[in-house]
C-alpha cells in the first residue's frame, strides 16, 4: 500500500499517519472544481488544527504528487461519541471561479482628469485589440488562454500552468459585464460541447496544469467486463435523443451606412445544403456586429462667373432685368481678387476643408451703359458709366446643378434647379464588421451528431489507481457490443481512497451547455451582439453611426439696387430630406434688429421684432 503524505505551504512533508489524518477522497470534475476531502478523527474541537483556510497543500501518493490546491473549508464536529475536524482542498479552479475577468480599455478617468489605459470589468468575449482599429476575432482556445493568463498575471507565484487548449471555434463577439473567469470559459465552450477541462497533478507538472481536450482526440481507456480490470458495475444508456441531424447557423449582420440599415445573412450549414427544416436539426440565429461608417456629405452647386454676361449681373442686380431697361452695355469690369481667378460662383451649399478646394468672398464691379424706356417703350433716358457691384462667393471647384428640378423638394429655386444636388461624399470614420465565424457549425455537428453514452461506471480496487480521469474516454469490452466503441466521455470521477472505490460519471457535458437541442438554442439567446470596436477600446472615443452632413448655406437673390447685392441665408439640416430650415432674409431687417423666420412644412413661425435682437452686432 502506498504511503500518503502532504506538504503545507512549501514546508516539510508529513505523512497522513503521523498527522492522524484519514478518510481521504477525491472528486475530479470537468468545468468545475476538483476537490479533496480528508479528516482528523478524534481531533478535539478545541484542538490545534494542522491547516487553516488559504493554506497551499500538495498531497502525495508515495513520491508522486496526487493533488494540489488550496484549503477553502474546515468543518468541526463535536458530539458525545466523537469529535473531529475535516478539510476541503480545492484545485486551482478556485482562482478561476473567484476572479472577475477584465480587459484593458482606454477611457477618461474622472478621478485624475486624463485618459488612462486600464482594466474594466466590461469585456467583449471573442475580440482582441492587438491591432489599433483592426477587428481581430479570437477562437475559443485563444479566449480561454487569455482568461487563464489574466489570472496568472495577478499572482506573483503562479498557482497553475496552462497546458494544451485543444479547441478553436471562432466564437461570435459577446459583450458582458462583471463576469467570473470560469463563466467566460464555460460560455465559449458552449460552441464546442464535446470539450472537457481537466487537470494534471503528476510530478512533472507542478503546479498543476489545466488543459482542454475534445472527445475525438482523447485517449481511450479500455475496461473489461470479465473482471480483469476491476470493473465492478456499469449502468449506461445511449442518448440518441440528443443526436442532431443537422446544424444550421444563420449569421445576421446589420451594416449601418449613411443612416441606412442593410441586413445581410451568412449561413453555415452542416451537412452541406441543410436548411434546418430537418427533424432534430439545431438552428441558431447569431447576430454579429456589422460595419458602421460615418460619412460627410456636402452639397455644392456652382455656375461659371461671366462678368461680360448681362444675365449674370441681372441675377444679382434685379433692376437690370427690368422690362424698362434696354441696350445694356457692360465695360471696365473688375474683381477684388484677380490673381486667384477663381472661375465659379457658389450658388448652393459650400466648400468644406476635406473637399480640397479654394473659396473666397469677392466683390465684382462694372460700368454699365443703358437706356430707360417707359411702359410704352418710348425712350425716357440714356445712362452712361453707371457703377454697379455685386458680392459673390467664388471657388475653383465645380458643382452640378441639375436642370430638371425635383418638385417635392422645398429648396428648388425659381428656375427649377434642384438644390438637393449632392456634390461629393467623403468617408471620415469607419469600423470594420465582426468577422463571420467559420467552422462553428461543423464543431457543433461533430459534438452533437454522435451518440453519447450516459451513466455510471464503478471500479473496485485494492487501492485506487486513478486509471480513468477527466480527459479520457471509456470503452468496455466483453459487455454489450456497442460499448466496445462507445468512447463514453468522462465528466466526473469520485475516488474513495480508504475503500478503493472509483465512481466514473460519463455522458454529454452538463456544464458547458444544455442537455437537449432546445436548451442549446436557449443558450444562444442569452448572447448579446456587440458593436463596440477595438478602436473604441484603444482610443476612448465612442463611435456614432450614420452620416455627418455639413450645414447647407443656400444663397437666394434678394431685391437690391445700385452697387452690390444683399444675401439671404438658409440653414437646413439635410438638403436631401429637409423638412425644417432657418431662413435669414435681409428683406426682413428692421430698425429694431433682425427678424428670424423659421419655415417648416407646416407653415411659418416668425419671431416678432420686439424679441431680443442682434442690433449691436456689426
Instruction: State the pLDDT at residue 593.
Output: 41
Residue 423 has pLDDT above 80, yes or no: no
> Mean pLDDT throughout 210-221?
94
- Residue 534: band (very low, low, confident or very high) from pLDDT cuts 50, 70, 90: low
3 state SS of 178: coil
pLDDT higher than 50, residue 334: yes
Mean pLDDT of the 395-409 span? 57
Give the Å distances, CA to CA, from 85 to 8, 14, 41, 51, 56: 17, 18, 7, 10, 18
Decide if pLDDT at 551 tops 80: no
Predicted confidence (pLDDT) per residue in 183-200, tens digit = 999 999 988 888 999 999
Note the pTM of the prediction, 2 decimals: 0.64
- What are the tens digits of pLDDT across the range 92-104? 999 999 999 999 8
406 pLDDT more than 90? no
Q: In what order do the strands lie in the sheet with 209-214?
A: 161-165, 209-214, 195-200
What average pLDDT does this structure show over 428-439?
Answer: 67
List phi, psi (to 5°) of 316: -100, -25
Quickly state the pLDDT bin for 429 (edges 50, 70, 90).
Answer: low
In this prediction, residues 522-541 reach a mean pLDDT of 51
Give the span between the Cα atoms of 196 and 583, in whole angstroms: 70
Q: Say whether pLDDT at 211 is over 60.
A: yes
What are the pLDDT digits (tens) for 16-28?
Answer: 999 999 999 999 9
Higher pLDDT, 261 or 571: 261
Q: Which residue has the higher pLDDT, 613 or 147?
A: 147
Instruction: Please give the distance of CA 314 from its chain centroid, rounded to a whole number.
Output: 58
Percent of the chain residues topping a pLDDT of 70: 73
3-state helix, strand, coil in the chain (%, to 5): 15, 45, 40
Q: How confident is the model at residue 440 (pLDDT cuts 50, 70, 90)?
A: confident
Quote the pLDDT of residue 191: 85
Q: Is the dihedral of CA 554, 559, 565, 566 positive or negative?
A: negative
pLDDT tens across 30-87, in order? 989 999 999 998 888 888 889 999 999 999 999 999 999 999 988 888 766 778 899 9
As a whole-number percent, the residues of the chain with pLDDT over 90 amount to 42
What are residue 319's phi and psi, to 5 degrees?
-65, -20
Q: What is the arithmetic mean of pLDDT over 448-470?
A: 93
- Higher-confidence residue of 332 and 523: namely 332
- Whole-number pLDDT of residue 604: 42
Give pLDDT, residue 566.
39
Span 276-291, pLDDT tens digits: 899 989 898 888 876 6
Handedness of CA 283, 284, 285, 288 (dihedral sign): negative
Nearest CA among 57, 54, 19 for reference residue 39: 19
pLDDT digits (tens, 9 = 90+) for 137-163: 889 999 999 999 999 999 888 889 999
The residues spanned by each domain of the chain are: 297-428+550-584
Does residue 535 surpass a pLDDT of 70? no
Does residue 536 surpass a pLDDT of 80? Answer: no
Q: Which three cell numbers stand for residue 54?
A: 488559504
Sign of CA dihedral 342, 343, 349, 352: negative
Q: Which of 590, 594, 586 has the alpha carbon at shortest distance from 613? A: 594
Amino acid at each position: 500500500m502506498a504511503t500518503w503524505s502532504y506538504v503545507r505551504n512549501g514546508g516539510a512533508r508529513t505523512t497522513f499517519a503521523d498527522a492522524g489524518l484519514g478518510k481521504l477522497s477525491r472528486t475530479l470534475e470537468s468545468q468545475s472544481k476538483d476537490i479533496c476531502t480528508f479528516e482528523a478523527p478524534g481531533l478535539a474541537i478545541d484542538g490545534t488544527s494542522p491547516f487553516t483556510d488559504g493554506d497551499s497543500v500538495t498531497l502525495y501518493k508515495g513520491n508522486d504528487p496526487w493533488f494540489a490546491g488550496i484549503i477553502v473549508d474546515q468543518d468541526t464536529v463535536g458530539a458525545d461519541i466523537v469529535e473531529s475536524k475535516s478539510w476541503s482542498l480545492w484545485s486551482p479552479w478556485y482562482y478561476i471561479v473567484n476572479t472577475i475577468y477584465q480587459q484593458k480599455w482606454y477611457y477618461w478617468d474622472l478621478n485624475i482628469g486624463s485618459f488612462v489605459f486600464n482594466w474594466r470589468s466590461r469585456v467583449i468575449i471573442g475580440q482582441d485589440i492587438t491591432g489599433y482599429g483592426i477587428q481581430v476575432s479570437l477562437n475559443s482556445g485563444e479566449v480561454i488562454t487569455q482568461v487563464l493568463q489574466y489570472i496568472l498575471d495577478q499572482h506573483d507565484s503562479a498557482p497553475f500552468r496552462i497546458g494544451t487548449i485543444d479547441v478553436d471555434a471562432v466564437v461570435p463577439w459577446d459583450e458582458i459585464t462583471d463576469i467570473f473567469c470560469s463563466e467566460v470559459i464555460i460560455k465559449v465552450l458552449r460552441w464546442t460541447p464535446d470539450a472537457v477541462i481537466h487537470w494534471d497533478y503528476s510530478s512533472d507538472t507542478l503546479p498543476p496544469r489545466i488543459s482542454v481536450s475534445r472527445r475525438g482526440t482523447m485517449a481511450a481507456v479500455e475496461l473489461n467486463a470479465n473482471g480483469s480490470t476491476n470493473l465492478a458495475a456499469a449502468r449506461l444508456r445511449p442518448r440518441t435523443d440528443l443526436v442532431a441531424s443537422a446544424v444550421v447557423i444563420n449569421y445576421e449582420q446589420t451594416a449601418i451606412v449613411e443612416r441606412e440599415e442593410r441586413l445581410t445573412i451568412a449561413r453555415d450549414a452542416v451537412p452541406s445544403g441543410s436548411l434546418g427544416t430537418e427533424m432534430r436539426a439545431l438552428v441558431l440565429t447569431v447576430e454579429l456586429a456589422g460595419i458602421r461608417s460615418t460619412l460627410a456629405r456636402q452639397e455644392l452647386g456652382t455656375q461659371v462667373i461671366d462678368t461680360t454676361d448681362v444675365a449674370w449681373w441681372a441675377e444679382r442686380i434685379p433692376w437690370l432685368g427690368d422690362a424698362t431697361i434696354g441696350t445694356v452695355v457692360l465695360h471696365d469690369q473688375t474683381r477684388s481678387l484677380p490673381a486667384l481667378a477663381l472661375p465659379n460662383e457658389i450658388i448652393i451649399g459650400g466648400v468644406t476643408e476635406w473637399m480640397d478646394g479654394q473659396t473666397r468672398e469677392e466683390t465684382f464691379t462694372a460700368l454699365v451703359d443703358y437706356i430707360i424706356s417707359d411702359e410704352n417703350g418710348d425712350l425716357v433716358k440714356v445712362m452712361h458709366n453707371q457703377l454697379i457691384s455685386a458680392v459673390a462667393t467664388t471657388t475653383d471647384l465645380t458643382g452640378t446643378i441639375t436642370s430638371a428640378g425635383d418638385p417635392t423638394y422645398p429648396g428648388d429655386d425659381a428656375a427649377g434647379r434642384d438644390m438637393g444636388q449632392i456634390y461629393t461624399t467623403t468617408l471620415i470614420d469607419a469600423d470594420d464588421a465582426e468577422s463571420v465565424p467559420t467552422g462553428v457549425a461543423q464543431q457543433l455537428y461533430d459534438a452533437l451528431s454522435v451518440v453519447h453514452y450516459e451513466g455510471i461506471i464503478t471500479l473496485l480496487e485494492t487501492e485506487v489507481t486513478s486509471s480513468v480521469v477527466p480527459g479520457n474516454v471509456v470503452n468496455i469490452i466483453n459487455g454489450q457490443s456497442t460499448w466496445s466503441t462507445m468512447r463514453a466521455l468522462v465528466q466526473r470521477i469520485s475516488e474513495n481512497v480508504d475503500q478503493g472505490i472509483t465512481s466514473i460519471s460519463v455522458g454529454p457535458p452538463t456544464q458547458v451547455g444544455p442537455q437537449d437541442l432546445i436548451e442549446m438554442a436557449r443558450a444562444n439567446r442569452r448572447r448579446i451582439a456587440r458593436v463596440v470596436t477595438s478602436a473604441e477600446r484603444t482610443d476612448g472615443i465612442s463611435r456614432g453611426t450614420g452620416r455627418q452632413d455639413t450645414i447647407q448655406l443656400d444663397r437666394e437673390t434678394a431685391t437690391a439696387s445700385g452697387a452690390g447685392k444683399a444675401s439671404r441665408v438658409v440653414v437646413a439640416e439635410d438638403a436631401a430630406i429637409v423638412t425644417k430650415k432657418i431662413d435669414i432674409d435681409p428683406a426682413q431687417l428692421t430698425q429694431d434688429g433682425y427678424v428670424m423666420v423659421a419655415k417648416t412644412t407646416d407653415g411659418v413661425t416668425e419671431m416678432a421684432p420686439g424679441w431680443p435682437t442682434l442690433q449691436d452686432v456689426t
